Amino acid sequence: MGILLKGGIIYTGEPVSDGTQMDILIEDGMIKDQQRNINPEELGKSESEQLEIIDVSGLTIVPGLVDMHVHLREPGFEYKETIATGTKSAARGGFTSIACMPNTKPTADNSGTIEFIKQRAKEQGLVHTYPIAALTVDRVGKEIVEMDDLYSAGAVAFSDDGSWVHDSGVMRTALEYSQLFNVPVISHCEDEGLSDSGQVNEGYLASVMGLSGIPNESESIAVARDVMLSELTGAHLHIAHISTAQSVDIIRKAKDRGVPVTAEVTPHHLILTDSTIQNYNTMAKVNPPLRTEEDVKALRQGIKEGVIDCIATDHAPHSTDEKNVEFDNAPFGLVGLETAFSVSKKALVDSGVLSLSELIEKMSTNPAKLLKLPSGKLVHEAPADLTILSLDEKYTVNPGDFASLGKNSPFAGWELEGKIVATMVSGEFSYRQFGSDDHVV
């Protein structure tokens, strides 16, 4: 059965241009046609009889969002999140593809765990789920994983996210091997000698609150080394969740020299500063820490210039019990899938840094390209992975309503604009809320 979406404003993703009013015909999970006016009566008889026609006038349709940095927590930490709840959360947030990080239990450093994640996602997942394998065994930075096995099992990238690979020799070798598979190595840049037992951004507020600080250099020194190793090896290095002005600077210069480095930033680092942790708000305790106004400005400038390629949530669910403790004892991490679009829109589009089409590029087309996924654009014969938005609709964030088991959002109570009304994955709705017809798969 086909679906005809009538009257929406379509952003195709490629080329990056403003939306135009078009109808979209979807059949067999693919985009079959898109033009100004598709008349169902002009389609073949059997085609039109089987057609569901949906009026989406007043709504905006964009390529399904792609999040290349998600923690699904399964296997091992199912009380924080599961593949079922995490992908449901993704669908509600407008994401049609996500890549999940390997800091599970067991660590996704072996083909069995990668196969398990893929199988579970096939059975219970609501969006395309692409596993990222660990770069070193147990993510301890000593012994490189069997990249060949993991790649064959379906890993789309390698990363020790949560930890930096401290040994430069190990990182160099890993980057060299990664070229055999033509996939990125994703680096969590943190020199632990500097971040030590730090809890928040190093600065005035940390001192006043009596919390130990994490200086910008803890990240930026790591970024500088990894960029140099990417330059040395010629391998694609992708830097996770950058948070400092210095990192933007280092990556800008590296890109100017032609180093094959790419980078992501989270919605929270684009809008929040360390002042959010006033009152010891553990919901804003995250790694890397929320920084200063100056860093936020530099990150926005970096994304505008293309120094930062994409937005990724680093969705990191933790249980309420784990977060409801003294600041020092709370785990780092916050959830982001269900607020990502409207927070990013507020940070970048409403403030005039990017156009909506450029935001879509950062949240869909670019991450899809980086991971070589078939999505990220709404063109003829592309997979029907798309997101339907009510751009001006306002809502108040209530983590209690999240599909994610993680309620650890720093945006609770915020009034945001830009609601996800439907998410379609391979031609089928993973989430659909049209007007009063509330239907969540």
Ligand X SMILES: NC(=O)N[C@@H](CC(=O)O)C(=O)O
Query: Which residues in this chain contact ligand X in the complex, by CB under 6 A?
Result: 71, 103, 161-162, 188, 286-287, 314, 316, 332-333
Q: Please enumerate in sequence order all residues whose Cβ is within 8 A of that of 171, keeping only pairs 6 or more positions apart, or say none.
A: 165, 187, 225, 226, 229
- Could you say which of ligand X, Zn ion, none residue 286 binds, taking C-beta under 5 to 8 angstroms by partner kind? ligand X
CB of 318 to Zn ion, least distance (A): 12
**Tokens 């890549």 belong to which residue?**
99
How large is the greatest C-alpha to C-alpha distance in the chain, in angstroms?
A: 72
CB of 242 to ligand X, least distance (A): 12
In residues, how long is the chain? 441
Closer residue to Zn ion in complex, CB, 90/391:
90
Six-digit token string for 116: 């398990």
Q: Is 321 annotated as a binding residue?
A: no
CB of 320 to Zn ion, least distance (A): 20
Closer residue to ligand X in complex, CB, 13/289:
289
Closer residue to ligand X in complex, CB, 13/333:
333
Given the rule CB under 5 A, which residues bind Zn ion? 161, 188, 314
Six-digit token string for 186: 């994703």
CB of 157 to Zn ion, least distance (A): 12
Closer residue to Zn ion in complex, CB, 188/300:
188
Q: Is 71 annotated as a binding residue?
A: yes
Which residue type is seen at 235? A
Q: Is 188 annotated as a binding residue?
A: yes
CB of 314 to ligand X, least distance (A): 5
- Could you say which of Zn ion, ligand X, none residue 414 binds, taking C-beta under 5 to 8 angstroms by partner kind? none
SS3 sequence of the chain: CEEEEEEEEECCCCCCCCCEEEEEEEECCEEEEEECCCCHHHCCHHHHHCEEEEECCCCEEEECEEEEEECCCCCCCCCCCCHHHHHHHHHHCCEEEEEECCCCCCCCCCHHHHHHHHHHHHHHCCCEEEECECCEHHHCCCCECCHHHHHHHCCCCEECCCCCCCCHHHHHHHHHHHCCCCCCEEECCCCHHHHCCCCEECCHHHHHHCCCEECHHHHHHHHHHHHHHHHHHCCCEEECCCCCHHHHHHHHHHHHHCCCEEEEECCHHHCCCHHHHHHHCHHHCCCCCCCCHHHHHHHHHHHHHCCCCEECCCECCCCHHHHCCCHHHCCCCCCCCCCHHHHHHHHHHCCCCCCHHHHHHHHHHHHHHHCCCCCCCCCCCCECCEEEEEEEEEEECCHHHCCCCCCCCCCCCCEEEEEEEEEEECCEEEEEEECCEEECC
Q: Provide the annotated active-site residues.
A: 314
Q: Is 398 annotated as a binding residue?
A: no
CA angle 281, 263, 66 (to 5 degrees): 80
Could you tell me which of 103, 110, 328 has the C-alpha nearest to residue 200?
328
Q: Is 333 annotated as a binding residue?
A: yes
Q: Is 408 annotated as a binding residue?
A: no
CB of 399 to ligand X, least distance (A): 16
- Could you say which of Zn ion, ligand X, none residue 333 binds, taking C-beta under 5 to 8 angstroms by partner kind? ligand X
Closer residue to ligand X in complex, CB, 240/360:
240
Closer residue to ligand X in complex, CB, 365/408:
408
CB of 214 to Zn ion, least distance (A): 13
- Could you say which of Zn ion, ligand X, none residue 332 binds, taking C-beta under 5 to 8 angstroms by partner kind? ligand X
Closer residue to Zn ion in complex, CB, 2/162:
162
Q: Is 432 annotated as a binding residue?
A: no
Could you tell me which of 425, 303, 306, 441 has the C-alpha nearest to residue 29?
425
Q: Is 279 annotated as a binding residue?
A: no
Q: Is 318 annotated as a binding residue?
A: yes
Q: Which residues are annotated as a binding site for Zn(2+)?
A: 69, 71, 161, 188, 241, 314
Q: Which residues are annotated as a binding site for substrate?
A: 71-73, 103, 287, 318, 332-333
